[in-house]
C-alpha cells in the first residue's frame, strides 16, 4: 500500500534520465495528480529546470552519456540552492558497490530496475514526507533559535534590569538607613520636647492651681477687708455724727448762754476762743459730712471753707494758686451741688448756716 | 530464447504499470525510439571500438527491455554491458544482432 503524501499541494519531481523510455514510463507512473513532473536528459537542462522551478525531489539515472549520476548528484549536493533536494537513484546497475557509491554521492535512496510503480511511489512519497518534516523541523529550529535568541536577549535585559534594581535597592537601603537615623533623631528630639512641654504644662497647671487658690484667698481677704472698711467708715461716720450732735446739744447751748451773760472783756475773749476752737475741732467732721453727702471734690471743699471764712475769689485764687475764673467755676459747682444755683442766696451765709 | 511480441509488451505495460491504451501506445513508441537510438549508439561504438559507449548503450538497452518486461533479453543485454565494461573481447556485433532479432517485434 502506498503511503499518503503529507504535503497539501502537488509536489514537483524532476526525472533526470537520458533514456526516453525511462523518462516516459516514470512520468506516466508519477503523473497521477499528486505530482508535477519535469523531465531532463542532460545536466544543462536539469540545471535550468532546477533554477526556474521549486523541485521537491529528483529521480536520477546513474549511467548517462556524459556526466554519470554520481557526479550529477555531487553537483546538486554541492549547490547551495539545490543541496536540500532529496535525490533517488533509479538504475539497472545491480552491484552493491554501485548502491554504496550512490549513497556516498548524497542520494537518499537507490531503486533498481525493473520499476515497480507502488514501490516507486512509496519511496518517493516517503522521502517527500521526510523532506517536508525536515523542512518543518528546520523552520521550527529556526523559530526556536529566534525564540532562544529573543529569550537570551530578554534574559540579559532582565539580568541588567535586576542588576540596576539591586544597585537602586542598595542605594535605597542606604537612603532608608540614613533617613531612619534622621527620623530617629527627630523622634528623639520630639519626644524630649514633648517631655519638656509636659513638664512645663504640669508646672503651669500647678502655678494656675496655686494662683487660683491665691486668688480665692485674695477675694476672700478683699471681701473681709471691704467689710472691715465699710464697718470702719460706718463707725467713723457714726462717731463724727455723735461728736457733732453731742457738741451741738451738750456744749453749744451752754456757750450761747454764757455769751448772753455779762462777762468781762477777758472772759468774753476766752469764751470766743473756746467757741472758735470748738468749731475748729468739730468743723472737719461737719465738712466731711457735707462732703460725703454732697460729693464735693477736695478742691471744692477747700474753696467752700475759704468762702466760709470770708475770703474773696481773688484771695482764694492766690491761696489755692488757681485763677479767679477757676475759683468762680468751683463756686458755681458748689452752688449747683447745694441746689442754690440761680437763687439769690449768699454762698458764705449758706455755708455758715450749716456750721450753726 | 523466445522472441518478445508486441502484444506481450502491451500486456506487460498494462498489467505492471496500469497504463491506459493511449499511454501504452506512447510507451511503446518511446521504447521503440529508445531501443533504436541505443542500438545505433552500440553499433557505432563497435565500429569505433569505443567500449565505454558500447557498455553504456547496452546498459540503456537493458533498461528499456526491463521496462518492457523482456527480462530474458534484458539479461542478454546486461551480459553485453558487463563484458564491454570489463573489456572482454567478443563479437559484440553478432550479440547485438541476436538481441535485435529477438526483440524485433517490438521495434
Q: Does some domain include residue B23?
A: yes
Residues A19, B38: C-beta atoms closer than 8 Å: yes
Q: Does some domain include residue B93?
A: yes
Name the residue with cell 491761696: A319
What does the pLDDT profile of chain A (356 residues) look like in tens digits?
667 766 667 899 999 998 888 999 999 999 877 799 999 999 999 999 999 999 999 999 998 878 899 999 999 999 999 999 999 999 888 788 989 999 999 999 999 988 899 999 999 999 999 999 998 999 999 999 999 999 999 999 999 999 999 999 999 999 999 999 999 999 999 999 999 999 999 999 999 999 999 999 999 999 999 999 999 988 988 888 888 888 877 888 888 788 888 888 888 888 888 888 887 787 776 655 565 566 788 888 888 888 988 889 999 998 888 999 999 999 999 999 888 888 888 988 888 887 55
C-alpha cell at A128: 517527500
Q: Does some domain include residue B79?
A: yes
HEC profile for B7-75? HHHHHHHHHHHCCCHHHHHHHHHHHHHHHHHHHHHHHHHHHHCCHHHHHHHHHHHHHHHHHHCCHHHHH
Q: Which residue of chain A is at minimal alpha-carbon distance from B60? A: A19
Q: What is A11-148's CATH number?
A: 3.40.50.2300
How far is C-alpha B65 from the geometric centre of its chain's CA atoms?
5
The ipTM, to two decimals, is 0.89
Residues B17, A25: C-beta atoms closer than 8 Å: yes
Beta bridge partners of A87: A58
Question: Which of A349, A249, A334 shows the shortest CA–CA distance to A297?
Answer: A334
Torsion of CA B63, B67, B72, B74, to 10 degrees: -10
- Chain B residues inside the 8 Å CB shell of A19: 34, 38, 60, 63-64
Question: Which of A225, A247, A229 shows the shortest CA–CA distance to A237?
Answer: A229
Torsion of CA B79, B85, B89, B92, to 10 degrees: 50
Q: Does some domain include residue B1?
A: no
Q: To probe the interface with A, which of B30, B41, B53 has the most A CB atoms within 10 Å?
A: B30
Spatial separation of the C-alpha atoms in residues A148 and A135, rounded to whole Å: 19
Q: To probe the interface with B, which of A2, A15, A20, A21 has the most B CB atoms within 10 Å?
A: A21
Q: Which domain holds residue B35?
A: 6-106
Output the pLDDT for position A236.
86
Query: What average pLDDT score do residues B7-20 get?
Result: 93
Count of domains for chain B: 1
DSSP β-ladder status, A87-91 and A35-40? unpaired
Amino acid at each position: 500500500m502506498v503511503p499518503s503524501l503529507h504535503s497539501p499541494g502537488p509536489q514537483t519531481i524532476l526525472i533526470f534520465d537520458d533514456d526516453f523510455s525511462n523518462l516516459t514510463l516514470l512520468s506516466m507512473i508519477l503523473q497521477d495528480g499528486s505530482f508535477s513532473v519535469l523531465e531532463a536528459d542532460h545536466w544543462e537542462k536539469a540545471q535550468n529546470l532546477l533554477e526556474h522551478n521549486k523541485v521537491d525531489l529528483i529521480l536520477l539515472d546513474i549511467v548517462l552519456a556524459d556526466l554519470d549520476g554520481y557526479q550529477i548528484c555531487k553537483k546538486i549536493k554541492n549547490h547551495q540552492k539545490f543541496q536540500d533536494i532529496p535525490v533517488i537513484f533509479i538504475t539497472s546497475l545491480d552491484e552493491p558497490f554501485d548502491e554504496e557509491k550512490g549513497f556516498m554521492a548524497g542520494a537518499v535512496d537507490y531503486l533498481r530496475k525493473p520499476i515497480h510503480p507502488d514501490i516507486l511511489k512509496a519511496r518517493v512519497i516517503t522521502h517527500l514526507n521526510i523532506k517536508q518534516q525536515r523542512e518543518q523541523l528546520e523552520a521550527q529550529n529556526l523559530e526556536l533559535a529566534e525564540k532562544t535568541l529573543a529569550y537570551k536577549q530578554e534574559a540579559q535585559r532582565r539580568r541588567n534590569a535586576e542588576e540596576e534594581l539591586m544597585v537602586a535597592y542598595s542605594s535605597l537601603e542606604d537612603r532608608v538607613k540614613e533617613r531612619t537615623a534622621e527620623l530617629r533623631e527627630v523622634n528623639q528630639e520630639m519626644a524630649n520636647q514633648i517631655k519638656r512641654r509636659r513638664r512645663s504644662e504640669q508646672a503651669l497647671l500647678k502655678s494656675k492651681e496655686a494662683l487660683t487658690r491665691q486668688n480665692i484667698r485674695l477675694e476672700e481677704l478683699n471681701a473681709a477687708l471691704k467689710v472691715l472698711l465699710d464697718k470702719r467708715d460706718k463707725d467713723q461716720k457714726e462717731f463724727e455724727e455723735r461728736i457733732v450732735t453731742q457738741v451741738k446739744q451738750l456744749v453749744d447751748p451752754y456757750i450761747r448762754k454764757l455769751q448772753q451773760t455779762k462777762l468781762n472783756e477777758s472772759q468774753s475773749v476766752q469764751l470766743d476762743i473756746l467757741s472758735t476752737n470748738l468749731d475748729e475741732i468739730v468743723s472737719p467732721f461737719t465738712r466731711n459730712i457735707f462732703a460725703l453727702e454732697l460729693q464735693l471734690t477736695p478742691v471744692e471743699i477747700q474753696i467752700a471753707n475759704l468762702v466760709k471764712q470770708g475770703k474773696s475769689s481773688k484771695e482764694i485764687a492766690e491761696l489755692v494758686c488757681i485763677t479767679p475764673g477757676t475759683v468762680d467755676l468751683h463756686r458755681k459747682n458748689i452752688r449747683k451741688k447745694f441746689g442754690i444755683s440761680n437763687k439769690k442766696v449768699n454762698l458764705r451765709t449758706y455755708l455758715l448756716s450749716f456750721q450753726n | 530464447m523466445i522472441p518478445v511480441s508486441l502484444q506481450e509488451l502491451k500486456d506487460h505495460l498494462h498489467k505492471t504499470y496500469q497504463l491506459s491504451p493511449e499511454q501504452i501506445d506512447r510507451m511503446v513508441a518511446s521504447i521503440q525510439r529508445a531501443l533504436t537510438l541505443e542500438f545505433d549508439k552500440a553499433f557505432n561504438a563497435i565500429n569505433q571500438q569505443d567500449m565505454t559507449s558500447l557498455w553504456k548503450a547496452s546498459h540503456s538497452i537493458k533498461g528499456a527491455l526491463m521496462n518492457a518486461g523482456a527480462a530474458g533479453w534484458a539479461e542478454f543485454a546486461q551480459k553485453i554491458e558487463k563484458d564491454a565494461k570489463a573489456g572482454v573481447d567478443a563479437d559484440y556485433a553478432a550479440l547485438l544482432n541476436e538481441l535485435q532479432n529477438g526483440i524485433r517485434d517490438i521495434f
